[in-house]
Structure formats: C-alpha cells, structure tokens
C-alpha cells in the first residue's frame, strides 16, 4: 500500500524528497507524531504491553512474587504499605455508619501512615511488599494483575482478529454484491443476530460449554458475535466506491472479483478497518471482564482481569483492592486504546478537519 | 403504505424471533447437563428417580420432538411417551400448548410454575430499573449533547468529551461496584442491596434504593445520547435554513431549540432502537452487582439450572423486545419526520 | 422456630451458595443445594454440597445444623436426657427394644402464653426458595421455607444422645418382627386453622406422594415403606417391606399436609393449587405472611404449633441477599440478626460487640476429601499409589491453612460426632519418604525431582474440582499440587463450572485421577451406603471402588435395630475403606454461626444451633 500516493492540495510541484514524505502513510505518520495525546496514549499502551509480556520477568525481579503462589497466612491482606492505615480507614468507615457521622479527623493519620508505609515499601525490595494487597488465597494482586493482562490482552487481540476477519469478509462481499441475494443473506444474518439478546446467548454458551471458558474459546465466541457492526459499516463504504472509475477500470481489464475486492477495494477502507479493530480490542476486554465477573468467563486457575473481580465477590468491602486493581488495569488499557484509536482515526483521514 | 410496511416488518420480525428460538434451543440441547441433573448426584435419589422425573418432564424425548412440543404444544401429538411428556400423558389438561399459543411452558426449577409467571414476578424490578435508567440517560444525555454542540470546540465541549471517553473505558458495572463499596459500604449513604427496605416501601425509600443502580445504568445511554446529539446538532447547525433563521434575527435560543433540535433529534430516535435489548442485557450485570431482584438474575439462575422453559421464555422475550425496538423506531421515525416514505418495493 | 428459620436461612444461604455450585447434594436445581440435613437428619446424607465460597462451606455446616434442629424438636424425655447427660457425649448406648413402647409426656403450649413472646428475627439467604411443596422441592432454600411452615416430627433426635425420641407422636412401638411401627399421635395437634392434625393426614399425604405421576423426586426413599395406615385419628401404623435400620429416622420424611384443604386441589400444579406457593393452613412454627420473589419472605408465629413448646419469636423475616459480603455488612450493622461467618471474616466477627459467634462440631458436618479414580489404567488403581498419595499429603497443613483451624482432621468416612465413628483406622500421617518408597513398589522412581515410570514418563495426575468459583476448593487444589509436586508428581488442575463438573466427575469414562469433594454427613450412618455400591458406578460411586465385603457389611448393619451390632459393622466398614483408600480423607468442618446479641437462649449442640430455636427469644438492649 505504500505505493499509493496522494497529492494533497497545495503540495503540487514539491521536490521528489518532499513527495516521498507525502505518501499516504507518510502523512499519517507525520500527523500522528504531532498529536501529543496519541503519543502519550501509545506510550501507555506500550507500557501495558511491556508489563504484560514481561510479566514473568517483572514478577521475578521487581515484585518478587509468583502469580499462583498461595500464601495462606496472607489472605486478603491489604497492600503492605497500608498495613497500618487500612485499619484506620476501616475505623473511619465504621464512624460513617454510626450515628455521629464520619470522623474526618482520622484522615491525617491515614495519610501519614500510608506515606510511611510507601517509603518502607520502596526500600523493601522484591518479595517484601504487596503493592496492591493479596487475594483470598494470599496471592499478590499486582502480580496477578500483570499476568491477567496476558490473558485479557490476548483475548482483546483474538477477538479483534476474529470479528475483523468475519466482518471484513462479510462487509466486502455484501458491499460488492449489494442488492443481490448474497447481500440479503448477510443482512438477514446481521438482523437475526441483532435482534437476539446477545449477552443472554453468550451466557448460555459460556456458562454451559467448558471450551468457551478458555481464552481462545471465549475470544472466538466474542468475535463470532461481534462482527456485525464492522460488516455494516464496510458494506456502506464499499458500496460507495463500487462504481468509482478505478474499480470499473480494473473490472474492464478483466481483474477477477476476488482481486478487485482485496487488491482494490480493501486498501481503500483499510484505515477504517484499523480504527475499528483497535476499538474492538477495547470492547472485547470489557466484555471479557463482564462475562468473567458473572462467572461464565475465563476459568479460575488462570488470572484474567475479569475473573479476578469475580473472586472478589463476597469480600469486596473488606478487600476493595480486589475490585479496584483489575478495574484500573482495564482502565489504563482501554483508555490508551481509545485514545490511540481516536488519534488514528484523525490521522488516517488526512482530509478530516480537526474536530 | 405504512400499514403494509408494518405488516411486512412484523412478519419478518416473527421469522427473526423464530430463528432466534432455534438458535437458543440448539445451544441449550447441545450443552452438558439437563434439568434433572440436580437429582443425579443426590444420594437421596436413585437412577430410577431420575428416570421417572425425566419422563414426567419429557426431557428424555428426542430433541426435535421437544422442540416441536415447545413450539407448537403437545396436546395434538400422538399418545405415547416418545411424543408426549409424562405429565401430559397422565392429564391432557396439563399438556403444553406451545409458544405459538403463548404458552411458555412450565418451569422445571420452579417446580411446575408457568415460566411466564416466574418471569412476570420479576419483570417490574427490571422494568423500574430500566425505565429509571432510560429516564436519567435522556435527561442527562440530551442537555449534555446540546450544550457540547453549542459550546463546540470550547472548554465545556472538551470536558464533556473527555469525561465521556473516560467513563467508557471501564465496565460500567465496575463503576457501580466501586460506588457501591464507597457510597454504600463505607459511607453508608446508599443501601447495599435490594429494591426497598422490608416493611417500609415508601416512595422515598424506593428512590433511595434506586438512585445508584439507575445512575450507573444510565451511564451508557448518557454517553451515547450526548454523542449522537452533539454530532447531529453540529450537522444541523451548519445547514442553510439555520443560517437563514439566524439571519432573520431569531434569538440563538429559538434557533437551537426551535429549529435545530427538532431535526437533530431524529437520529437520536434511532439510537433508541436497541434500548430495550440493552436494558435487558444490561440488567444481568447491574442486577448482579446491586442484588436487584429482576429478570437478569433470573436468567442466570435459569441457565445454571438448565431450566429450559424459563431460559427460552426470557430469550424469546429478549428477541421480541429487540425486534419491537427496531420496528418502533421505524414507525416513530415516520412520525417525527414526515419525509420518510416506506417503499414496500424497496 | 426462629431457629428453624434461621437454620433455614442458613441453609438457604448456604444452599444458595452451594446451590449455585453445589453438588448435588441434595439437589437442588441448579444449585443443588445441599439440603442436607436440615430437614431430615435422618435422611441421608447428602453430599451436599459444595458450595462455593469458603463462606459457603461454613454456611453449609451450619445449615445442616439448623436443619437438624428443625428436625429435632424437642421434647425431652427426662429420663433419656438424664441418661444422656450421664453418658456425656458418648455414643448411643441404648438399643431399641423390639416390642417396647417409648413414651413422651411433654405438654402442649401456645406461643402466646410465653412472656418472652414477640420480636422479629431477621436473616438473609443468598437465594430464594422456589416453592413450599414438601414433595416437589429439592433445593435447600425451599426446604428451609417448607420446614418453617410444614413440620413433620413424629420423632426427633435427642440433642444429647442423638437418639430418636417421641415428639408429635406421644409414643411409638416397634413390632416384634421389626416390620411394623405404630405411632400414637398426640390428640392435641392442630393445623393452623384449628382443625385437628391426625393420622389420616399422614395416610393421605403418603398416598399422594407415592403416586409416580406426582413427581416426588425422592420416591426411592420411601421404598422401605410398604404401607401407611391410619388405624384411627391418633394411631398411625407404618409397615415396612423389610427390617431396615434407618427406617425409624426416615419415617420423618413424611411431612403431613392438611388433607381437608388439599384433598380438592391438584397435588402438584401451582397454577391451580394456591397452597403450593402460599400455604394458608400449616403445621409448622410459622405461617407465611408475605413472599416477594427474590426479595424477602415474612413469617409469623403459628399459635397452633407445638414442638418443645412454641416459638418465642413472633416474626421471621428472610431477606434475599445474594452477596455474602453484603450480608456480613448488614450483620455488622445489626440490620440482620444472623449470617454465615466465613473463615476470612471470623477474626473480624469475633471483635463485634453486638454479636456472638457460636461454634460447634456438628453431626452433619461436611467431610472434605480427595476421591481417587480406581478404574483400570489409572495410576491410582494401584493401592500402593493410593497409599503413597495419602502419605504425601500433609493433611494437618490443609486443615490448618485452608480452614484456618476451623476444621478437624478426619481419617474415616464418619466424623467424630457420629455415633458410628471409630478411631481405629489407619490415618496415613504425613510421611513423604514413605510415599516415595510406596511409589517405588508401584514402579515409579524419583529422577531429577520427577517421579517417573519405567518409560521415563513423569507421573501426572489430573485433579478435578468444581464449581470453578469455589475458592476454598481452588486453594486446596493448589496446595495439593504443591505438595505432590514436592515428590515429583505433576498435578494438573481442572476446574469446571458446576454442571460440567458433575458431568465429568460422574462420567462413565472419566479423565480425572483425583477429584476434590466434600460431602455432608448425617446423623444416620447408613445413608452413606449408596456411595459404595457397585451398581452406583459411576454416579455415586464415582471412584469405581468395588468391595463386596463392604456391601455385605452395610446390608448386615441395615438389617438390625441393634445399635451395638450396627456400631461394630460400621466400624469394620470404616477400617476397610480407610485401608483401601478410595478417598484421601482431609477434614471435617466446624460449624459456625453469627447471631446478634439480642437473640437469647442459643445453645448449639451436635444437632446444630437451631435445635432449640423455639426457645430463643429476643431481648432488646
């Protein structure tokens, strides 16, 4: 696709060098590099990818815990640095429940104890500080969080791959063959899937078939039921470029349908596909969390951000870090994904006004 | 024209619903376990007990027959164990009438109660939560969208956009859980579970219980609506007739609310199409988080118990609402915008 | 009754919890809840449950207790209780004399007569009941509700001796051949509408329950009864098909329903029989006032109820709160009077100044164990491997670490609280060296920290548990994996959702080598019989353990009313099973219940906390 070049208004007649700069992807890159928010989001995304990919190393060398090592003497322990301040906070909440109302005077103590604890934690070295507490089996929540990312991110990527593949093929085909029976069939399938309560269907499937409790199975499931939006969008796009001159020309030269669809039409909509795929990753991560939270997602020996929260039910007020941690991981990941997606959307459409 | 269109769409809708029952049924049948599995490892029950109950419920009949019986009833089927459930064989009055005669069957898990009754008992809870969420999301989302559009490119617009993006990056039920922990568990400001205090049930008490779940349930709509509306308002505000209106010297208020909003609101109506389905689907998670006694929780119970009639009834109701939503939007659309024509041929 | 209710609650809760995941126990629908004991102590044990969260476990235990309590009731026969006291906690020593009549002489009282009458007892349940019909329900939540409104106790367990003593029956007689039980009912028993409760109600109810088309799930449990006859209003004659030791306890399965109301209504159709979902005429300690599905149920004392006196507490409210943590918060704030106390919450709960944590060792406690697959071709079919695994697991560690001391190690199929218990069984104390030695005999050698067979392949065992949301079990699985890993055995953990777990664990061709289970025990030792029958492979006898001696011994133990003979047989059974090691026994759990301090009169016994619920009363501070 790099050969695809654009001549932007006002740039006619530039030197050969500049002209290279003006390839489509060059323009995209330039625009991206000037978008500080997107750059920051990319840094955050990269950070998430690094900590999850490097989870074993980080767990070993920095945190000093194994994600599955149970320690029964440390069940549902608050973060090590909050060992002192947590009971004070609990005391505070007790006063809130009481008749006299919250005792805000406790807060300075809570802060100073936390800071003291944090200082100690920084100096403690690997294996001596549970930064985000422990779960009900005494496993380090932070360690499990970064390991959980391996599964959650994987699911995000798989789902995007599955739903994009299905959606792109369906969209291409139905757009190309718009108003024929092929289009009708695709439309009917989309309509059917659109009119059933998909969450119900997912719960039935994931709740009853163990195979859908694995990352691969669950991804397939989420992807399989998540391609309709892409397909619909692409169909419209394809439909609108179907009668463009270059398509008609290639048809006239005898190019096969297949070639037209994948060599000529697909590149034209690739920017849309990329943006949607990126957003898809985020929604897949959130969907996984929901299903696992309901107990019909990833099975428990493995940590995923969703099932870490499922495990927290039953003790969330006593151990809120069990709920907060996975949520924050999700937040950081999806935030970076959204922002990257947003930035890309702008960048991939060089004509788009900054709005 | 409209009548013909509605008829055509209704027929189509029924077909869709039927298709979704087929999907639901197939999955259910393929899943391990069945409604009598609870007895199988119960030492108090022997395999003869299990067998007897399965025959009585008719769950050991061939799958296709079970589907036919569920769909069209069993009272017209041959008098044999292969065709009819034991209950129907013993007493013709207790034969299922089938869903085409609006008989959703008898629940296994709820020991013979009609599935629809079980659902109706829990419907108000889901409905109240859904309606409250919808109300809040419209009340919150519309002004936000309009405001953002008017202040486009300025600080309020950015604040609104950023906060909606932020809120969308986490599961909304997770936000609900956090709020529940802090507001309910720690500060004691909202109740931790249920719809109302037993023995109280005054309006104030109910609102107190409703406020957090409804707010959290509204987040999704709130973001969605404000986005759609902002986008549409911007489109409309650039149109010629708005410029004309402004040129005429109409106040900005009159322009925005009198002219622009009316036209911008149409796509917003489309946004409502998925609302029923969303409300029902969302109910599963929100009801779990807030211990809300509605249909979403019932659905999980039914799936776990492999209670086919209740599960399928909920499924059909969900499909029905989904289809109904689409249909209603189409019709609403034509009412809001007389330009829309329903060309049956197209 | 509060008790009952509370038990029910507990049950319910536990059930619920369990239910969700449970096994089967008794089955409840999806959630099979363990309904164990509750109601019928004598009935079998149900394997109940398993619940999921740790709390659940705790709950379960309690639940049974309450259940029992429900079952029991109380009148104490003075002599018996004295004797019991004399013998302390000893096993049952008294044998049932054939031909003898056992009499009770307690007076009937009305709840309104008590000065302590009044108040409201609030509890929570994680799941709601589905129905009140005693002959349709199978889940523990419903059982809790049903036991609240329908009482069944012809007899009850004595809280000290664990012996069955007359209750609603004024006396009972066993015929010389052991085949006929004659119960003389009290003449002052009444339904809540004032109509007398008679033997005819029993007879009619039995006739309905045994009709196959009426769908009683546990019909096989009544097979030992040949007929139930009301000789006159007060005389109930039950004929057995054969001498069957647990029969006296199992007769309690017969919950009478009001014939005068039900006669004209369809038995099992809730649409046409309003009594099924909102019973109006009841025999239990409480009447239903209001039931809001998935929200709450309110009960009010039944002034015509009698059992060991009448309930002091006027109202019972059961609120449905699916989340155990929320329930605990409500308990802390005093919004509810009782809740399950999970091991994690225990320390915190003990600090509460508005509540007391009661703990007891129940006769219905759940026993946790590792089931071994004894089918041909599995490593665990070799007795040396089974013994080795037994030695390799540090059961004390599991008991201490997983249960935080809230459990006791167990080496046999019965807990210490059961009268049939014997300590004279091999216990396999932790000894990894011995385990390695035994594995060597089975053909495995330790190389490079790996236990390998002749072909050099590492010994790999597949450990199954369910439901996958059960954190206690998850913890146990991980510890077992660790422990066996230390002697080079590779353990692969497989956690499944409940229904799939059941499917897999009772599969005719299972793929697991080890399975983690807990099963609720019951006061009646004979209820564990089905677990060991060859014909129950693969369902209940999931290990596929075949030992004809055991079947023979159970048959013999079941065919006599002589307690000493039975005790001896059960003792032998325990020895053989412990020797053959089809299961690695881990621990049985302590029962625990948190009660608000305003509830007075609570005295947990082996029967549970709820056995004297009628005597509880509320004293506002």
Note the pLDDT of residue B36: 81
For residue C352, pLDDT beyond 50? yes
User: Domain check: are A273 and A328 in the same one?
Assistant: yes
What letter would DSSP give residue C298?
E
Determine, yes or no, domain membership for C485: yes
- pLDDT range class, residue B41, cuts 50, 70, 90: low
Q: What's this model's pTM, rounded to 2 decimal places?
A: 0.80
Chain C residue nearest residue A294, CA to CA:
C469
Distance, in Å, from the CA atom of C327 to the CA atom of C88, rounded to the nearest integer, reads 37
Region C462-480: mean pLDDT is: 83
Note the pLDDT of residue C491: 92
Which spans in C358-415 are helix H?
Answer: 383-392, 395-403
Shortest Cα–Cα distance, A91 to chain B (Å): 10
| Contact (CB<8Å) C32/B41 | yes
Note the pLDDT of residue C176: 87
Distance, in Å, from the CA atom of C133 to the CA atom of C111, rounded to the nearest integer, reads 25
Tell me which residue range forms the domain holding A199. 141-347
- pLDDT range class, residue C25, cuts 50, 70, 90: very low
Shortest Cα–Cα distance, A319 to chain B (Å): 10
Shortest Cα–Cα distance, C168 to chain B (Å): 25
Report the domain count for chain A: 2
Which one of B13, B31, B277 has the shortest CB-CB distance to A208?
Answer: B31
- pLDDT range class, residue C7, cuts 50, 70, 90: very low
Q: Is A330 within 8 Å of A293 (Cβ atoms)?
A: no
Distance, in Å, from the CA atom of A298 to the CA atom of A52, rounded to the nearest integer, reads 17
| pLDDT digits 0-9 by tens, C249-267 | 888 778 999 999 999 999 8
Residue B8 neighbours by CB under 8 Å, 6+ apart:
B344
Of residues C25 and A353, more confidently modeled: A353
Determine, yes or no, domain membership for C363: no
Report the domain count for chain C: 1
Determine, yes or no, domain membership for A244: yes
Distance, in Å, from the CA atom of C48 to the CA atom of C361, rounded to the nearest integer, reads 17
Best of B29, B44, B192, B297 to disrupt the C interface (most C CBs within 10 Å) is B44
Residues of chain A predicted below pLDDT 70: 1-22, 70, 72-73, 300-301, 311-314, 349-355
Peptide bond into C538 cis (omega under 30): yes
Nearest by Cα to C339 from C583, C94, C11, C568: C11
Which one of C29, C44, C539 has the shortest CB-CB distance to B38?
Answer: C29
Q: Is C242 within 8 Å of C559 (Cβ atoms)?
A: yes
Distance, in Å, from the CA atom of A90 to the CA atom of A62, rounded to the nearest integer, reads 30
Determine contact: A207 vs chain B, CB below 8 A.
yes
Determine, yes or no, domain membership for A275: yes
Region B124-128: mean pLDDT is: 89
User: Domain check: are A240 and A297 in the same one?
Assistant: yes
Please name the residue that has the structure tokens 């950070």: A47
Which one of C55, C402, C479 has the shortest CB-CB distance to A314?
Answer: C55
Note the pLDDT of residue B274: 67
Residue C99 neighbours by CB under 8 Å, 6+ apart:
C173, C174, C175, C176
| Contact (CB<8Å) C137/B111 | yes
- pLDDT range class, residue C379, cuts 50, 70, 90: very high
Query: Tell me, what CATH number does A195's domain have?
Result: 1.10.3720.10
Best of A87, A156, A200 to disrupt the B interface (most B CBs within 10 Å) is A200
Shortest Cα–Cα distance, C83 to chain B (Å): 33
User: Domain check: are A152 and A282 in the same one?
Assistant: yes
User: Domain check: are A123 and A148 in the same one?
Assistant: no
Chain C residue nearest residue A317, CA to CA:
C325
Shortest Cα–Cα distance, A161 to chain B (Å): 20
Determine, yes or no, domain membership for C465: yes
Determine, yes or no, domain membership for A355: no
Tell me which residue range forms the domain holding C463. 371-589
| pLDDT digits 0-9 by tens, C550-604 | 999 999 998 888 888 999 999 999 999 999 999 999 999 888 899 999 999 898 8
Distance, in Å, from the CA atom of A293 to the CA atom of C389, rounded to the nearest integer, reads 35
Which one of C32, C294, C296 has the shortest CB-CB distance to B42?
Answer: C32
Nearest by Cα to C444 from C394, C386, C494, C516: C386
What letter would DSSP give residue C32?
P
| Contact (CB<8Å) A323/B303 | no
* Lowest mean pLDDT, pick from A9-13, C146-150, C155-159: A9-13
Note the pLDDT of residue B37: 75
Determine, yes or no, domain membership for A63: no
Which one of A102, A195, A286 has the shortest CB-CB distance to B323?
Answer: A195
Q: Is C162 within 8 Å of C521 (Cβ atoms)?
A: no
User: Domain check: are A238 and A309 in the same one?
Assistant: yes
Chain A residue nearest residue B171, CA to CA:
A286
Nearest by Cα to A282 from A157, A98, A179: A157
The total of other beta-carbon atoms located within 10 Å of residue A244's CB is 12
Determine contact: A208 vs chain B, CB below 8 A.
yes
Best of A96, A197, A314 to disrupt the B interface (most B CBs within 10 Å) is A197
CA dist C545 to C235, C380, C422, Å?
A: 44, 11, 21
Q: Provide, as residue numbers in chain A, all residues whose Cβ is less than 8 Å from the Cβ of B153.
A: 355
Note the pLDDT of residue A10: 44
Q: Strand pairing partners for C596?
A: C355
* Lowest mean pLDDT, pick from B119-123, B138-142, B332-336: B332-336
Distance, in Å, from the CA atom of B66 to the CA atom of B64, rounded to the nearest integer, reads 5
| Contact (CB<8Å) A290/B285 | yes
Distance, in Å, from the CA atom of C202 to the CA atom of C214, rounded to the nearest integer, reads 16
* Lowest mean pLDDT, pick from B135-149, B271-285, C419-433, C554-568: B271-285
Cα–chain center distance at B267? 21
Distance, in Å, from the CA atom of C33 to the CA atom of C20, rounded to the nearest integer, reads 7
Q: Strand pairing partners for C190?
A: C196
Region B134-146: mean pLDDT is: 87
Shortest Cα–Cα distance, C487 to chain B (Å): 34
Q: What is the mean pLDDT of chain C?
A: 79
The tokens of B99 are what?
């869903």
Determine contact: B193 vs chain C, CB below 8 A.
yes
| Contact (CB<8Å) C325/A300 | no
Which one of A76, A296, A317 has the shortest CB-CB distance to C329?
Answer: A317
| Contact (CB<8Å) A137/C471 | yes
| pLDDT digits 0-9 by tens, A196-214 | 788 888 888 887 787 888 8
Residue C276 neighbours by CB under 8 Å, 6+ apart:
B111, C131, C132, C133, C136, C268, C269, C270
Distance, in Å, from the CA atom of B330 to the CA atom of B342, rounded to the nearest integer, reads 9
Determine contact: B194 vs chain C, CB below 8 A.
yes
**What burial letters (b/e) apply to A265-282, b meaning 16+ CB within 10 Å?**
bbebbebbbebbbbbbbb
Cα–chain center distance at A191? 26
Q: Provide the CB-side half-sphere exposure for C230 (13 A, CA).
A: 17
Nearest by Cα to A188 from A203, A170, A166: A170
Which one of A72, A73, A300 has the shortest CB-CB distance to C495?
Answer: A300
Q: Provide, as residue numbers in chain C, all residues whose Cβ is less than 8 Å from the Cβ of A97.
A: 333
User: Domain check: are A121 and A249 in the same one?
Assistant: no
Of residues B194 and C545, more confidently modeled: C545
Which one of C130, C219, C498 has the shortest CB-CB distance to B49?
Answer: C219
Residues in chain B: 346
Query: Tell me, what CATH number does C391's domain have?
Result: 3.10.105.10
Q: Provide, as residue numbers in chain C, all residues whose Cβ is less than 8 Å from the Cβ of A86.
A: none
| Chain B stretch 108-167, residues whose beta carbon is closer than 8 A to a beta carbon of chain C | 108-114, 117-118, 121-122, 125
- pLDDT range class, residue C490, cuts 50, 70, 90: very high
Q: For chains A and B, count residue pairs whose Cβ atoms are closer than 8 Å.
A: 135
Determine contact: C106 vs chain A, CB below 8 A.
no
* Lowest mean pLDDT, pick from A171-180, B267-276, C369-378, C394-403: B267-276
Distance, in Å, from the CA atom of C512 to the CA atom of B318, rounded to the nearest integer, reads 39
Q: Is A353 within 8 Å of A346 (Cβ atoms)?
A: no
- pLDDT range class, residue C98, cuts 50, 70, 90: low
Nearest by Cα to A241 from A160, A308, A172: A172
Note the pLDDT of residue C84: 34
Which one of B23, B170, B177 has the shortest CB-CB distance to A331?
Answer: B170
Of residues C546 and A124, more confidently modeled: C546
| Contact (CB<8Å) A208/C344 | no
Determine, yes or no, domain membership for A57: no
| pLDDT digits 0-9 by tens, C45-87 | 333 333 333 333 333 333 333 333 333 333 323 233 333 333 3
The tokens of B228 are what?
């759609």
- Answer left, alpha or beta for residue C309, where phi above 0 means left and psi between -120 and 50 means alpha: left
Q: Provide, as residue numbers in chain C, all residues whose Cβ is less than 8 Å from the Cβ of A68.
A: 478
Q: Provide the CB-side half-sphere exposure for A273 (13 A, CA).
A: 23
Determine, yes or no, domain membership for C443: yes
Region C346-350: mean pLDDT is: 83
Which one of B20, B27, B28 has the shortest CB-CB distance to A192?
Answer: B20
Please name the residue that has the structure tokens 């409210």: C317
Of residues B262 and C10, more confidently modeled: B262
| Contact (CB<8Å) C471/A317 | no
Note the pLDDT of residue C64: 33
Q: Strand pairing partners for A247?
A: none
Interface of A with C (CB under 8 A): 68, 70, 72-73, 75-76, 97, 136-137, 207-210, 213, 295-296, 299-301, 310-311, 313-318
Determine, yes or no, domain membership for C328: no
Distance, in Å, from the CA atom of C250 to the CA atom of C40, rounded to the nearest integer, reads 8
For residue C6, pLDDT beyond 70? no
Determine, yes or no, domain membership for A53: no
| Chain B stretch 263-302, residues whose beta carbon is closer than 8 A to a beta carbon of chain C | 288, 291, 293-294, 297-298, 301
Domains of chain B, start order: 36-107 (no CATH), 116-336 (1.10.3720.10)
User: Domain check: are A107 and A239 in the same one?
Assistant: no
Determine contact: A195 vs chain B, CB below 8 A.
yes
Determine, yes or no, domain membership for A12: no
For residue C91, pLDDT beyond 50? no
Shortest Cα–Cα distance, B140 to chain A (Å): 23
Q: What are the phi and psi torsion angles at C314 (to 5°)?
A: -75, -40
């Amino acid at each position: 696709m790099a050969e695809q070049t654009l001549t932007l208004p006002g740039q006619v007649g530039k030197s050969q060098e500049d002209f290279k700069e003006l390839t489509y992807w060059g323009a995209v890159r330039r625009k991206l590099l000037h978008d500080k928010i997107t750059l920051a989001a990319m840094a955050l995304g990269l950070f998430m990818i690094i900590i999850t990919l490097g989870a074993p190393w980080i767990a070993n060398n920095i945190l000093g815990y194994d994600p599955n090592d149970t320690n029964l003497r440390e069940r549902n322990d608050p973060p090590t640095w909050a060992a002192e301040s947590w009971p004070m906070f609990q005391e505070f909440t007790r006063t809130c429940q009481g008749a006299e109302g919250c005792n805000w005077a406790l807060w300075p103590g809570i802060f100073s104890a936390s800071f003291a604890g944090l200082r100690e934690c920084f100096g403690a070295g690997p294996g001596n500080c549970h930064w985000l507490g422990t779960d009900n089996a005494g496993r380090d929540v932070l360690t499990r969080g970064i390991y959980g990312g391996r599964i959650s991110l994987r699911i995000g990527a798989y789902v995007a791959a599955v739903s994009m593949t299905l959606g792109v093929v369906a969209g291409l085909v139905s757009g190309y063959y718009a108003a024929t029976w092929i289009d009708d069939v695709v439309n009917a399938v989309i309509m059917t899937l659109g009119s059933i309560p998909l969450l119900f269907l997912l719960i039935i499937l994931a709740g009853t078939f163990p195979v859908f409790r694995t990352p691969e199975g669950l991804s397939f499931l989420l992807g399989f039921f998540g391609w309709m939006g892409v397909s619909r969008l692409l169909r419209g796009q394809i439909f609108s470029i179907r009668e463009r001159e270059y398509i008609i020309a290639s048809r006239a030269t005898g190019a096969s349908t297949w070639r037209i669809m994948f060599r000529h039409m697909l590149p034209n909509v690739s920017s849309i596909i990329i943006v949607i795929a990126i957003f898809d990753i985020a929604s897949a991560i959130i969907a996984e969390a929901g299903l696992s939270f309901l107990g019909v997602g990833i099975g428990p020996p493995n940590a995923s951000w969703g099932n870490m929260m499922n495990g927290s039910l039953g003790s969330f007020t006593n151990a809120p870090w069990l709920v907060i941690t996975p949520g924050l991981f999700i937040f950081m990941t999806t935030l970076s994904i959204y922002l990257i997606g947003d930035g890309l959307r702008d960048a991939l459409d060089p004509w788009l006004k900054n709005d | 024209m409209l009548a013909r269109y509605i008829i055509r769409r209704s027929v189509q809708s029924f077909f869709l619903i039927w298709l979704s029952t087929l999907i639901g049924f197939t999955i259910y049948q393929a899943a391990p376990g069945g409604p009598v599995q609870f007895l199988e490892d119960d030492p108090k029950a022997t395999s003869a007990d299990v067998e007897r109950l399965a025959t009585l419920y008719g769950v050991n009949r061939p799958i296709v027959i079970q589907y036919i019986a569920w769909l069209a009833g069993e009272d017209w089927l041959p008098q044999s164990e292969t065709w009819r459930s034991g209950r129907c064989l013993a007493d013709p009055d207790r034969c299922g009438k089938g869903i085409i005669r609006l008989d959703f069957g008898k629940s296994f898990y709820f020991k013979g109660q009609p599935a629809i009754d079980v659902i109706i008992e829990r419907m108000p809870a889901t409905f109240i939560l859904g309606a409250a969420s919808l109300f809040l999301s419209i009340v919150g989302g519309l002004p936000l969208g309009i405001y953002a559009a008017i202040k486009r490119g300025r600080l309020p617009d950015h604040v609104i956009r950023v906060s909606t993006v932020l809120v969308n990056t986490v599961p909304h039920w997770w936000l609900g859980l956090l709020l529940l922990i802090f507001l309910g568990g720690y500060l004691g400001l909202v109740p931790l579970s249920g719809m109302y205090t037993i023995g109280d049930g005054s309006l104030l008490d109910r609102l107190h219980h409703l406020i957090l779940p409804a707010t959290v349930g509204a987040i999704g709509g709130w973001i969605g609506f404000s986005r759609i509306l902002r986008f549409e308002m911007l489109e409309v505000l650039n149109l010629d007739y708005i410029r004309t209106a402004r040129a005429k010297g109409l106040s900005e208020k009159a322009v925005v609310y009198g002219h622009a909003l009316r036209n911008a609101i149409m796509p917003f109506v489309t946004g409502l199409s998925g609302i029923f389905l969303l409300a029902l689907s969302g109910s599963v998670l929100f009801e779990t988080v807030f211990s809300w006694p509605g249909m979403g929780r019932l659905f999980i119970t039914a799936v776990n118990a492999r209670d086919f009639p209740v599960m399928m009834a909920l499924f059909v109701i969900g499909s029905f609402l989904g289809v109904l939503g689409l249909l209603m939007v189409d019709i609403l659309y034509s009412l809001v915008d007389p330009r829309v024509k329903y060309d049956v041929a197209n | 009754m509060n008790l009952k209710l509370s038990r029910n609650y507990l049950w319910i809760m536990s059930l619920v919890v369990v239910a969700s995941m449970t096994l089967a126990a008794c089955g409840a629908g999806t959630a099979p809840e363990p309904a164990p004991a509750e109601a019928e102590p004598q009935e079998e044990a149900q394997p109940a449950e398993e619940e999921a969260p740790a709390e659940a476990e705790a709950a379960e235990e309690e639940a049974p207790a309450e259940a029992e309590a429900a079952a029991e009731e109380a009148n104490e026969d003075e002599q018996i209780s004295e004797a019991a006291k004399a013998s302390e906690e000893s096993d049952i020593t008294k044998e049932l004399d054939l031909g003898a009549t056992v009499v009770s002489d307690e007076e009937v009282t009305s709840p309104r007569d008590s000065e302590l009458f009044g108040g409201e007892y609030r509890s929570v349940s994680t799941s709601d009941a589905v129905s009140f019909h005693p002959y349709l329900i199978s889940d523990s939540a419903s059982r809790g509700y049903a036991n609240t409104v329908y009482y069944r106790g012809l007899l009850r367990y004595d809280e000290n001796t664990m012996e069955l003593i007359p209750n609603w029956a004024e006396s009972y007689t066993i015929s010389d051949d052991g085949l006929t039980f004659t119960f003389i009912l009290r003449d002052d028993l009444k339904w809540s509408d004032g109509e007398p409760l008679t033997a005819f109600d029993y007879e009619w109810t039995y006739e309905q329950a045994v009709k196959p088309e009426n769908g009683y799930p546990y019909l096989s449990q009544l097979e030992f009864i040949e007929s139930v006859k009301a000789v006159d209003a007060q005389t109930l004659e039950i004929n057995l098909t054969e001498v069957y030791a647990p029969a006296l306890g199992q007769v309690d399965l017969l919950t009478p329903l009001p014939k005068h109301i039900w006669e004209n209504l369809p038995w099992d159709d809730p649409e046409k029989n309003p009594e099924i979902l909102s019973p109006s005429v009841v025999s239990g300690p409480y009447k239903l006032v209001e039931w809001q599905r998935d929200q709450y149920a309110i009960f009010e004392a039944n002034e015509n109820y009698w059992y060991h006196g009448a309930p002091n507490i006027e109202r019972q409210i059961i609120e449905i709160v699916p989340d155990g943590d929320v329930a605990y918060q409500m308990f802390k704030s005093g919004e509810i009077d009782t809740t399950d106390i999970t091991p994690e919450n225990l320390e915190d709960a003990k600090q509460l100044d508005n509540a007391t944590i009661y703990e007891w060792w129940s006769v219905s406690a759940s026993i946790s164990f590792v089931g071994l697959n004894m089918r041909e071709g599995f490593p665990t079919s070799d007795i040396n491997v089974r013994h080795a695994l037994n030695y390799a697991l540090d059961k004390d560690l599991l008991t201490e670490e997983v249960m935080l001391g809230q459990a006791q190690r167990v080496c046999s199929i019965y807990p210490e609280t059961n009268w049939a218990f014997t300590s004279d069984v091999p216990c396999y104390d932790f000894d990894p060296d011995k385990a390695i030695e035994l594995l060597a005999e089975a053909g495995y050698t330790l190389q490079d920290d790996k236990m390998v067979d002749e072909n050099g392949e590492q010994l790999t065992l597949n450990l199954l548990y369910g439901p996958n949301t059960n954190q206690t079990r998850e913890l146990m699985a991980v510890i077992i994996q660790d422990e066996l890993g230390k002697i080079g055995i590779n353990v692969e953990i497989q956690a499944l959702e409940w229904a799939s777990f059941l499917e897999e664990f009772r599969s005719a061709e299972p793929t697991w080598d080890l399975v983690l289970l807990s099963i609720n025990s019951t006061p009646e030792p004979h209820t564990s019989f089905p677990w060991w029958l060859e014909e129950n492979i693969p369902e209940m006898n999931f290990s596929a353990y075949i030992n004809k001696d055991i079947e023979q011994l159970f048959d013999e133990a079941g065919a006599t009313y002589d307690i000493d003979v039975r005790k001896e047989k059960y003792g032998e059974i325990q020895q053989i099973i412990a020797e053959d090691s089809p299961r690695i026994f881990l621990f049985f759990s302590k029962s625990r219940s948190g009660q608000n301090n305003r509830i007075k009169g609570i005295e947990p016994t082996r029967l549970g906390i709820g056995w004297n619920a009628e005597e509880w009363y509320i004293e506002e501070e």
